Structure 1
Amino acid sequence: MSSHWERLDESLRPSVTASVAAYERALPELKRVTSEMESLVRDVMEDAQDKPLFVTSRTKTVESFREKASRMVVPEPGAAPALQFPDPLRNLTDMVGVRVITTLPGENANVANLIKRRRNIFDCRGDREKDIGSIESGTYGYSSRHLILRSIQNAVVRSYQEALDPEAKASGSYFFECQIRTIFAHAWSEIEHDIRFKAQDPRAWSPYFDRQFTATAAMLETVESAFSELHERYETVTSYWDAEGEGGESLTPNRIKAVWQTLLPHVDRKADDDWGWAAELVHAHGLTQTIDLAALLQPDIISHVRKALDHRYSPGPDRLLDDLLLWQFGQRHIDLTAEEASAEQTPRRDSLQRRHQQMQRYRTSMGF
């Protein structure tokens, strides 16, 4: 696998050599531009609601610049060889690259929007999702948001432009690339780049590598989706404890169902969609807001109830809610929700009394 430089037509070598020499001469100033762009992006990220994990940057090496500057276009029949980037110092937009590394895919759009709104610092001239093509083609690839940004009247950029070409007017405008991707995608792309693009010996390559990279990209998408779902569930659950927000919402039958299925999705084997009975039970004790139900459906309480009653079968929502209220309110729950003690038949009262006694014995044994 020879390099572009090795395959470069002899007639084009003087032009590329001159560009490489100019690049190498101005590289110290370009590294200052890289630091400046990274610093500006960091400043923008101070306004982010979800702060990125980190912001990093890199300046293209002389070797990498020479390799990209040596790329030729596919020639027309009979046409002279030509460079893909005739003036690489002005045609290339990836000599400076800034990377913003996020936690979850949903944060990428927020970061991109923050950067694009800072029009006094950056002018966004390109914006694409790297994984869109793979999604539409039914293949896999890591997800990354790529912005092409132009700095606006930047003093550090002017210094670089003066070092590169003292005769030209320094505008302070410079094109660079900003990649926004998750920590998972970042790790994947770094490993892929090391193995796939830095391989010096083509004999060390195997088609199985392509297969493995595709498989890991698929797993990456699954993992990111799982973490995104976990994050959304966390945000939903924490909102239940905000008495001024979702925690203050009324406990209608549908609301109880939604909260239950979020907090206890593993305990949902109802044969019908009627949750009116649940509203009646909690309202009997004056529990009328979401925060009240969230406080009742706590893991430690559920664990004690399960141990106290030693259920032969895992209870469904109706039985478990009844038991949790019995644990919490004791005899009061019986008096409020069971038949009158003087009734001819009292099957519910008898059942609740029996379970209440079991709970009392458990509390005694546990020293409650």
Structure 2
Amino acid sequence: MSSYWERLDESLRPSVIASVESYERALPELVRVTAEMESLMRQVMGEADDAPLFITSRTKSVESFREKASRMVAAEPDVAPALQFPEPLRNLTDMVGVRVITTLPSENAQAANLIKRRRSLFDCRGDREKDIGSIESGTYGYSSRHLILRTIQNDVVRAYQEVLDPGNKHSGSYLFECQIRTVFAHAWSEIEHDIRFKAQDPRAWSPYFDRQFTATAAMLETVEQAFSELHERYETVTSFWDADGEGKVSLTPNRIKAVWQTLLPHVDRKADDDWGWAAELVAAHGLTKTIDLAALLQPEIISNVRKALDHRYSPGPDRLLDDLLLWQFGQRHIELTAEDASADQTSRRDSLIRRHQQMQRYRKSLGF
């Protein structure tokens, strides 16, 4: 594949060669700068509520530096060829790169904000969401937060600057790039880079590759959204068990509805939004807090009830909650919520007694 270096105008080669020689001479110190930036980033991320999966770094290779330094501005009639980066050692901000790899998209913003607040270490000179335009245009591409950071009076940077430009006084300030992206976006971008940008022969490229990359980017967005929703549900469910927080919220009809729809979204076929009946049922047993309902709506209890009663039709919320309370409280549930035994009509009591007997037989069969 034809490279920028191979296409470089002869008049510009001496300048690029000089820059490459200086870069190669100072590269060992720049590698130390890279290690220092990764170490500082680990220090910063150690304070994150959601620690990143991992942090990596890389120093631009001599070959890669030469390629980027060889880029020319678009040719214009009667205008002498010019370099896109006339002073690459000063103009390029990606010679040192750090990557912070997160689990979920929401963590990208958290990580970026944490980094930007560490003003004693870094001065943020640029912050952009790569490919944000793809969302606005209705197309797909991986999303990555890109920060351009400047170090603050860093001694390791000073050592690099001394090798690059000996004799002068140096500030220890240096621009480098920090990318923050999810592990899914990281995998996608690494594969895309290997195929799209490292292809050895442009003739081997097929439009179908572009189509596949677009398709996988769409799937990536769907997977990330699914995991984000899963994480949000997990956070909500675990909060129900916080006896000093969400767990102590009173069981109003709307609260019961919200908890039920979070824990049992597949059992929600009510025709209306009236959950007052549910509040009355649980209150009869002194269940007044969210944590009480969460303890009742456990998969093992629900499975036992389903097996014991062998429902002909999948029960809705009203019937299932009634059965769960009957399983937990037995005869007491009947006495607290059914008609008086001496009443003329005892249809509810009769139904509860029949179901209770089924539950007792099931328990006996299991040796409960």
The bucket for the TM-score relative to the shorter chain is over 0.9
Deviation at 1:167, TM superposition (A): 3.6
Q: Which residue does the alignment assign to 1:184?
A: 184
Deviation at 1:80, TM superposition (A): 0.5
Q: Which residue does the alignment assign to 1:259?
A: 259
Q: Which residue does the alignment assign to 1:114?
A: 114
Find the aligned partners of 1:62 and 1:217 in 2 and give their Cα distance. 31
Find the aligned partners of 1:77 and 1:321 in 2 and give their Cα distance. 80
Q: Which residue does the alignment assign to 1:351?
A: 351
Deviation at 1:204, TM superposition (A): 1.7
SS in 2 for 1:178: strand
Find the aligned partners of 1:326 and 1:357 in 2 and give their Cα distance. 11
Give the structure-2-normalised TM-score: 0.99
SS in 1 for 2:153: coil
Find the aligned partners of 1:285 and 1:162 in 2 and give their Cα distance. 77
Alpha-carbon displacement from aligned partner over 1:195-215 (angstroms, at most 9, x marks no partner): 111111112211111111111
Amino acid of the structure 1 residue aligned with 2:316: G
SS in 1 for 2:307: helix
Q: Which residue does the alignment assign to 1:136?
A: 136
Q: Which residue does the alignment assign to 1:289?
A: 289
Amino acid of the structure 1 residue aligned with 2:177: E
Q: Which residue does the alignment assign to 1:238?
A: 238
SS in 2 for 1:145: strand
Query: How is 1:190-339 mapped onto 2 (pairs within 5 angstroms)?
Result: 190-339=190-339
Q: Which residue does the alignment assign to 1:341?
A: 341
SS in 2 for 1:149: strand
User: Would you say 1:147 and 2:143 are equivalent positions?
Assistant: no
Find the aligned partners of 2:212 and 2:26 in 1 and give their Cα distance. 40
Give the structure-1-normalised TM-score: 0.99
Q: Which runs of 4+ in 1 moved over 4 A?
A: none
Alpha-carbon displacement from aligned partner over 1:227-277 (angstroms, at most 9, x marks no partner): 000000000000000010000000000000000000000000001110000
Instruction: Give ranges in structure 2 of 5+ residues lacking alignment.
Output: none
Q: Which residue does the alignment assign to 2:31?
A: 31
How many residue pairs get aligned? The number is 368
Amino acid of the structure 2 residue aligned with 1:291: I
Query: How is 1:62-141 mapped onto 2 (pairs within 5 angstroms)?
Result: 62-141=62-141
SS in 1 for 2:27: helix
Which has the larger displacement, 75-84 or 247-256? Answer: 75-84
Find the aligned partners of 1:102 and 1:285 in 2 and give their Cα distance. 45
Alpha-carbon displacement from aligned partner over 1:104-137 (angstroms, at most 9, x marks no partner): 1110111001100000000000000113111011
Deviation at 1:145, TM superposition (A): 0.5
Amino acid of the structure 1 residue aligned with 2:92: L
Deviation at 1:61, TM superposition (A): 0.3
Amino acid of the structure 1 residue aligned with 2:59: T
SS in 1 for 2:163: helix
Deviation at 1:77, TM superposition (A): 2.0
Amino acid of the structure 1 residue aligned with 2:312: R
Find the aligned partners of 2:328 and 2:131 in 1 and give their Cα distance. 51
Alpha-carbon displacement from aligned partner over 1:174-231 (angstroms, at most 9, x marks no partner): 0000000111111111111111111111122111111111110000000000000000
Amino acid of the structure 2 residue aligned with 1:97: G
Find the aligned partners of 1:197 and 1:152 in 2 and give their Cα distance. 34
Find the aligned partners of 1:131 and 1:298 in 2 and give their Cα distance. 43
Deviation at 1:19, TM superposition (A): 0.4
Deviation at 1:75, TM superposition (A): 2.5
Alpha-carbon displacement from aligned partner over 1:73-102 (angstroms, at most 9, x marks no partner): 113321001000000000000000000001
SS in 1 for 2:58: strand
Find the aligned partners of 2:254 and 2:274 in 1 and give their Cα distance. 9
Amino acid of the structure 2 residue aligned with 1:6: E
Amino acid of the structure 2 residue aligned with 1:360: Q
